[in-house]
A and B are shown apart, each in its own frame.
Chain A
Amino acid sequence: MPSSISASEHRKATRAIAILLASLLVYVCALEIVTRMAFPRINHIWRTLQSDHLTAVSLHPLKAGKSATMLMVGNSYLEVGVNRENLQREIAPTFSIAYLPMSGTSYFDWYFGLRKLFAEDSRPAIVGVCLSTRDLISDSTYGESFAHALMLRRDLLRVKKEAHLDNTMTSDYFFDSLSSWMGHRDETHNWLLRKAAPGINNLVSYLKPKNQPLPPSDVIVAKALPRLRQLNELAQNYGARFFLLIPPTMDVRDASKEIQEAAAKEGILVLLPFQHAELPESVFLDGAHLNPQGAALFTEKLGPTLLQSLYQN
């Protein structure tokens, strides 16, 4: 291998390294600034999320001195399954409800997400978490979006331990919590793909890993109950009443009834407006989420269920 190069080649190469590294640094900084400033403007999902987040952290137990405030968090089941205006109409003036749904989230996202919201001075009178049984017993977290939007940086090591993250993932979460770009890169990537190839949405449902069959009911209950206790305890520490809302899904034998009964014995409220397989297949959008017709049915039943369960207690 030739080892000696002329001094001018040496200088040129050194300058090229410096320019390359400086350019990469400038590019990364620009990416961060653009994401912070422009992304919420062009992406309506994150704009809505930001606005919901601001509402959530401004909650006090009572609104206008009379309505008890309720914060409802959850994933896409809440996002598409509940008609916000209709539900508010149903439960007003007893309750005033605020929402913070985030697609793809599950138990750990909201356990640590609620810790963050409480730390940011959110003080609702009631906290509802809308998760399916599958999401309640899931051990996953919602990646960078969770780390950026829902995780307190000081909880990182707890998240690592409880969600069994490896060191690479943990360091990813650390940077995701610091950087807007890192925290939004999934969303940015998806947004770019949708812009570049509008037909890509047709592909998404095929690319998702298939759901594994749920474990037997006793295993589900044994895993779900301690998690419900943790959520309940967390809400109580901040003076809020907790309930879990299990949305209708098409999961076969999701043990929702068994969870409700086991939680009731410990004084934890689990709302199950529709029993398993009570709703026909025709009200589901994609085999999992409710379509507008299903959302109307669910909202219609959820209002009285909330009033009955929470007001009477």
Chain B
Amino acid sequence: MAYIVDVYHRKVEPAKSLVGYALFISLFPHLIAGPIQRPSHLLPQVQKERTWDPAKAFDGLILILEGLFRKVVIADNCALIANAVFAGNFGGPNTMTVLLGTYAFAWQIYGDFSGYSRIARGSAQLLGFHFMVNFRQPYFAESLQDFWRRWHISLSTWLRDYLYIPLGGNRLGRVRTYVNLMLTMLLGGLWHGANWTFVVWGGIHGVGLATERLFVGKREITPSSSFLGRWARRIFIFNVVCLAWIFFRITSFSGAWEQIVGLMNWQWNPAYWTALVFLACYAMALFVVDLQLEASHGEHVFASYPYGLRILTGIAFCALITLFGANQESAFIYFRF
């Protein structure tokens, strides 16, 4: 669709050959679950002669190992807690189970999809293609606007360019801007599946984005200058995103609502503490990786460091995958969408 629209608007030259076009459409690293590749980014690469670039291939290998670490170690272990909580194994919804399940799912879906995206990018890089970065430490976002610049970037920019802007974006006055934001996010929710819970998930983000727009207008939300302010905002946005994840994870609206109501019901069981420590260990591992990426602004860990350190990083990922990979095998969440 993007190809047809871009060619129509003369933003991209039509493919020079059927084989080139077919390769652009069916290139396996992005075929199943993205990251969505724009014709303007990928088509020229497909049509150009590729040469073996060992530096890019090395980066590709590290990306694949980091992706596997995110999926097998982080996502699949967090899934153990999330699945058990939402299956009711820890009892009915109460403050602790809802927090545990939601935080576990938040790290599961992030590890899962950012892991998949990295494996896809790494595989493409081994073949000489460059894919756009799809995740930039989304849980470090200081606003929802910022979150959507960091989460599933290939989808959010696609929605912006092919839905929000054609609807009029912010050019048609305040009210239309809010309506366009809501419509874009609601359709973004529906993109994940024909279920009202996805619409509510999109709606929460839409309302959040519109509210931010109400306060700051067309201005960019600037990062907080103070350390405390920055982390307070990050924690707040993380929790708003987590609240929305409940509607993404639970398949019925009533089930999701039960979880939200359960937040008010305080109960304690020693197993909650063990589960919390288990979850914190895995979330912390990914948090540390993200901290390094955020500080370095790199596309992958220790990107600007000497090869020796990056080799050690690759071996460390491999060791964590083999020793701490979850026992249960599970497919990538985004294969469903």
B311 touches A202 (CB 8 A): no
B58 touches A23 (CB 8 A): no
Question: From residue A40, how far is it (CB to closest CB) to chain B in Å?
Answer: 18
Question: From residue A20, how far is it (CB to closest CB) to chain B in Å?
Answer: 5
User: Which of chain A's residues have a CB closer than 8 A to the CB of B310?
Assistant: 16
Question: From residue A206, how far is it (CB to closest CB) to chain B in Å?
Answer: 5
A206 touches B323 (CB 8 A): no
B323 touches A188 (CB 8 A): yes
Closest chain B residue to A12 by CB distance? B307
Partner of A189, one of B57, B61, B81, B323: B323
- Given contacts A189-B327, A199-B274, whether A10 and B54 have CB atoms under 8 Å apart is yes
- Is A200 positioned at the interface, with any CB of B under 8 Å from its CB? yes
B245-285: contact bitstring with A at CB < 8 Å (1 yes, 0 no)? 00000000000000000000000001100110110010000
A198-241: contact bitstring with B at CB < 8 Å (1 yes, 0 no)? 01101100111110000000000000000000000000000000
A13 touches B314 (CB 8 A): no
- Is B322 positioned at the interface, with any CB of A under 8 Å from its CB? yes
- Is A5 positioned at the interface, with any CB of B under 8 Å from its CB? yes
A207 touches B54 (CB 8 A): no
B58 touches A206 (CB 8 A): no
B61 touches A3 (CB 8 A): no
Query: On chain B, which size bracket covers the interface?
Result: 35 or more
B76-111: contact bitstring with A at CB < 8 Å (1 yes, 0 no)? 000011011001111000000000000000000000
Docked CA distance A283–B72 (Å): 39
Interface of B is mostly: helix
Docked CA distance A215–B88 (Å): 22
- Given contacts A206-B90, A210-B89, whether A20 and B61 have CB atoms under 8 Å apart is yes
- Is B187 positioned at the interface, with any CB of A under 8 Å from its CB? no
A174-205: contact bitstring with B at CB < 8 Å (1 yes, 0 no)? 00000001000110111011000101101100
User: Which of chain A's residues have a CB closer than 8 A to the CB of B274?
Assistant: 197, 199-200, 202-203
B275 touches A203 (CB 8 A): yes
Interface of A is mostly: helix
- Given contacts A12-B307, A206-B271, whether A197 and B278 have CB atoms under 8 Å apart is yes
Closest chain B residue to A199 by CB distance? B274
- Is B31 positioned at the interface, with any CB of A under 8 Å from its CB? no
B271 touches A202 (CB 8 A): yes
Partner of A192, one of B61, B81, B324, B326: B324
Question: From residue A43, how far is it (CB to closest CB) to chain B in Å?
Answer: 14
- Is A252 positioned at the interface, with any CB of B under 8 Å from its CB? no
User: Which of chain A's residues have a CB closer than 8 A to the CB of B270?
Assistant: 202
Partner of A13, one of B55, B80, B275, B329: B55
B130-150: contact bitstring with A at CB < 8 Å (1 yes, 0 no)? 100000000000000000000
- Given contacts A186-B327, A200-B274, A202-B274, whether A24 and B54 have CB atoms under 8 Å apart is no
B278 touches A203 (CB 8 A): yes
- Is B318 positioned at the interface, with any CB of A under 8 Å from its CB? yes
- Given contacts A3-B51, A19-B311, whether A207 and B80 have CB atoms under 8 Å apart is yes
- Is B22 positioned at the interface, with any CB of A under 8 Å from its CB? no
- Is B161 positioned at the interface, with any CB of A under 8 Å from its CB? no
User: Which of chain B's residues have a CB closer than 8 A to the CB of A203?
Assistant: 271, 274-275, 278
Partner of B53, one of A3, A188, A200: A3
B182-205: contact bitstring with A at CB < 8 Å (1 yes, 0 no)? 000000000000000000000000
Partner of A23, one of B53, B55, B315, B327: B315
User: Which of chain A's residues have a CB closer than 8 A to the CB of B87?
Assistant: 209-210
- Given contacts A23-B315, A189-B323, A207-B84, whether A16 and B53 have CB atoms under 8 Å apart is no
- Is B27 positioned at the interface, with any CB of A under 8 Å from its CB? no
- Given contacts A23-B315, A27-B315, A186-B327, whether A197 and B84 have CB atoms under 8 Å apart is no
For this complex, 29 residue pairs linking A to B, each with C-beta atoms less than 8 Å apart, are A3-B53, A5-B53, A10-B54, A13-B53, A13-B58, A13-B307, A15-B307, A16-B58, A16-B311, A17-B57, A17-B58, A19-B311, A20-B315, A27-B319, A28-B322, A31-B322, A143-B327, A169-B329, A172-B329, A185-B325, A186-B327, A189-B326, A189-B327, A199-B277, A203-B274, A206-B90, A207-B80, A207-B81, A210-B88
B-side residues, CB < 8 A to A, are 51, 53-55, 57-58, 61-62, 80-81, 83-84, 87-90, 130, 270-271, 274-275, 277-278, 281, 307, 310-311, 314-315, 318-319, 322-327, 329
A-side residues, CB < 8 A to B, are 1, 3, 5, 9-10, 12-17, 19-21, 23-24, 27-28, 31, 143, 168-169, 172, 181, 185-186, 188-190, 192-193, 197, 199-200, 202-203, 206-210
